[in-house]
Structure 1
Amino acid sequence: MSALFNALRERVEVNARHAVETYTNEVSEYQAMSPGVDDRIGMYDFAVFIRRRSLDLAAAELPLTEEDLAGIATVGRQRAEVGLSVPSQQQVLGLHTAMMVREVHDLARPEDVTDLLRMVGWLGTQGVRARSAYLRGYTRGVGGARVLSTRLEILARTLLADEPVEPFVADLRLAGQYHISILKMAQPTASETQSEVVAAFAADRVPVTWLGADEFAVLTPGTTPKAKILQRIRHAAALIGQPCGVGSAEGVVGGLAETLAWAREASRVAPPQDRPERLPEIADLFVEMAVARTPALDGWLRSYAKALSTGPDLVATLRAYYASDMNRTSAAAALHIHPRTLDYRLRRVREVTGIDPGSTVGVRLLSATVARTLAVAHYAD
């Protein structure tokens, strides 16, 4: 065995202890585990085993055996049986992969380049197989009532990470492209509510997952009518029980990680709503997304927001006005005011900003100002 493999073998136990410490420090569910649960899932023993086995097989240029994969699946099942959630397991798997690669790079010297490439290449191919086996075992370990919702959540996370999905599809419908909708909240959502929202989508077999306590993702096949997608987003928002910024984007399987990044960015600048009026996409929010990325420009827009704050409900008025495509009657009805009152408020907007809200410049500048004002205020509360 080469110097690199020998050096890695000498540090197996040290690296395993560091891995357990990292999981405990960075994964909230692991922080809350009692010592008895820790013993049941054998974090340290498994960390030692997987490192030693990986070194032995990589040095011999052999793949994981079916027995190895069965053992990894058993560990996944045990983690499910003690109640660890899908997000926590996805986080742990990501940490594990990052640490294994870093451990190799940290010890490699220039003369070890051949063995470095061999080890990293082995981790790349066999790591995918091990991850799939672990998640299959985890799915089997989940209680019967939660099996479908858990599989859908794992499928959603796998699709969003551009990873192989075959182990989790089985009887689930897989589309060639997906419409990703992200709901962003100002406050964390309770774990009980998170479970309720995920379960609500299981009946329609829609892949969904929580990306964090304040961020929910819905993956709908690209052939689904936009009205149906909006209906599902409204249902999710109602279950969540707080205003959500919504951002959407569409992409093909294998490229959904980039699509997710766009949808998340859009959701963070979208004006929050209790019941989304439409399905905001990049075309609707690209100005706000660009402004949010440019602090100087964002600050410049806030001067208009400050001017609007001097009038009677001018931000709400402009929001309704633009949401109604500048139809006075519809906007007034949405605000529950007389059209003449609406006209007065629009004149007031012109007075305090020097811009006609119905002009081309007004639509571009003031609509962006309103969206940024509402989003910033929402997440600052």
Structure 2
Amino acid sequence: MSALFDALRERVEVHARSAVETYTHEVSEYQSSPPADDMYDFAVLIRRRTLDLSATGQPLTDTDLARIADVGRRRAEVGLSVPSQEQVLGLHTAMMVREVHDLARPEHATDLLRIVGWLGAQGVRARAAYLRGYTRGVGAAQVLPTRLEILARALIADEPVAPFVADLRVAARYRIAVLTTPDRTAGRTQAEVIAALAADRIPVTWLAPDEVVIVCPGEASAWVRRAVELIGRPCGVGTAEGPVGGLAPALARAREVSRVAPPESSPERLPEIADLFVEMAVAGAPAVDHWLRTYARALATGPDLVTTLRAYYAHDMNRVTAAAALHIHPRTLDYRLRRVRDVTGVDPGSTLGVRLLSATVARTLAVRHYAD
């Protein structure tokens, strides 16, 4: 056995204790309701088995995988969520690699590659076993929503789809819809959103208490409206499309769009980057954003100028349809548009007006107290 394997064996207990401390510190659910089983014993076991098997180039046995799955099942039975388990699995992988890296020396190159190679191949199998066990522990009513949530998280991270959820993947391309809520969403509501869309086999996962991701194999409007209805509050919505294996960039774009999108209670048209790229640029430029607020304050003098401009631009500056949407006479709309020109010095129907005032309206609706 090489010096690297010896050094790692000597520090198994130390590394296991550090792992438990990291889980407890980093994963909020482990602080409020830690797993019932002994995390330390399992952390020691998995490290010892890693060293034993990687030294001889042997894969995890069926017994090993069953033991790992059993731990996943027990985590589900105490009520720990899919996001918390994904976070734990990510922390575990990072710590295992770091532990090896920290003790490796140039003369350990061969054994370093042996261990890291083993972790790459067997880590995928261990992760799948853990999540499969977790799915078995959630209860019959939650099996499909849990499988779909695991699938959603794999797809948006561009990770391999575990065999036990692969049958749920139905498309080569997906549309990612990100909904940003004005504040934290209760855990019960989060579960209701996941379960409701699972009835139609739509993968959903919450990335944070104020951010949910819907992974749609086609048009997303109906599912987004259903999710917003269940959340019960207006949400900022952003969407982007991409192929399987390239959904992480789509997620990043959709998240950025959702953060500047005006919140809606019943979204009809789902914004993409092309719809809000000006607002995205403004949000990232504080000096420009501060300047734009002067126009927001002018529009706040009313009457109903922000609402009027939103409808006017949403209907491609068609006076008749915009007025109908606002339930006002076209002449009243004309009066309000003249009022916009008077208070801002910009004609809302001009090229400058479209660029400047549409961005002002979007920022006013998306950011609380923007005109203050």
TM-score by length of 1: 0.92
CA distance in 2, matches of 1:125, 1:201: 33
Q: What is residue 31 of structure 1 aligned with on the other side?
A: 31
* Pairs aligned (count): 372
Shift of 1:182: 0.6
SS in 1 for 2:119: helix
Q: Does 1:139 align with 2:135?
A: yes
Structure 1: runs of 5 or more not aligned: none
Counterpart of 1:27, as a letter, is V
Counterpart of 2:212, as a letter, is F
Of residues 149, 152, 164 in structure 2, which corresponds to 1:153? Answer: 149
Shift of 1:275: 0.9
Q: Does 1:320 align with 2:311?
A: yes
CA distance in 1, matches of 2:233, 2:84: 24
Q: What is residue 183 of structure 1 aligned with on the other side?
A: 179
Q: Does 1:287 align with 2:268?
A: no
Counterpart of 2:238, as a letter, is G
Q: Does 1:67 align with 2:97?
A: no
SS in 2 for 1:377: coil
Q: What is residue 14 of structure 2 aligned with on the other side?
A: 14
Q: What is residue 120 of structure 1 aligned with on the other side?
A: 116
Q: Does 1:356 align with 2:356?
A: no
> Identity over aligned residues, as a percent?
75
SS in 2 for 1:181: strand
Q: Which portions of structure 1, spanning 4 or more consecutive aligned residues, are displaced by more than 4 angstroms?
A: 378-381
Q: Quickly say closer, same or farther: Cα 1:135–1:288, change in 2 above 3 A.
A: same
Superposed, which structure 2 residues align to 1:99-248 within 5 Å? 99-169=95-165, 171-221=167-217, 224=218, 226=219, 229-248=220-239
Shift of 1:170: 5.4
Shift of 1:194: 0.9
Shift of 1:122: 2.0
Counterpart of 2:231, as a letter, is I
Deviations 1:54-96 (A, max 9, x none): 1222222222222211111111111111111111111111111
Q: What is residue 2 of structure 2 aligned with on the other side?
A: 2
Moved more, 110-119 or 235-244: 110-119
Shift of 1:276: 0.8
Contact conserved, 2:128 with 2:162, CA < 8 A, in 1?
no
Counterpart of 1:251, as a letter, is G
Shift of 1:278: 0.7
Contact conserved, 2:300 with 2:371, CA < 8 A, in 1?
no
CA distance in 2, matches of 1:162, 1:250: 14
Deviations 1:275-328 (A, max 9, x none): 112111122122222222233332332232233223322222211211122122
SS in 2 for 1:277: coil
Superposed, which structure 2 residues align to 1:30-49 within 5 Å? 30-33=30-33, 38=35, 40-49=36-45
RMSD: 2.0
SS in 1 for 2:368: helix
Moved more, 82-91 or 345-354: 345-354
Counterpart of 2:28, as a letter, is S
TM-score by length of 2: 0.94
Contact conserved, 1:251 with 1:259, CA < 8 A, in 2?
yes
Contact conserved, 2:293 with 2:371, CA < 8 A, in 1?
no
Contact conserved, 1:266 with 1:289, CA < 8 A, in 2?
yes
Q: Does 1:334 align with 2:325?
A: yes
Q: What is residue 368 of structure 1 aligned with on the other side?
A: 359
CA distance in 2, matches of 1:95, 1:321: 49
Shift of 1:349: 1.5
Q: Quickly say closer, same or farther: Cα 1:297–1:168, change in 2 above 3 A.
A: farther
Q: Does 1:250 align with 2:241?
A: yes
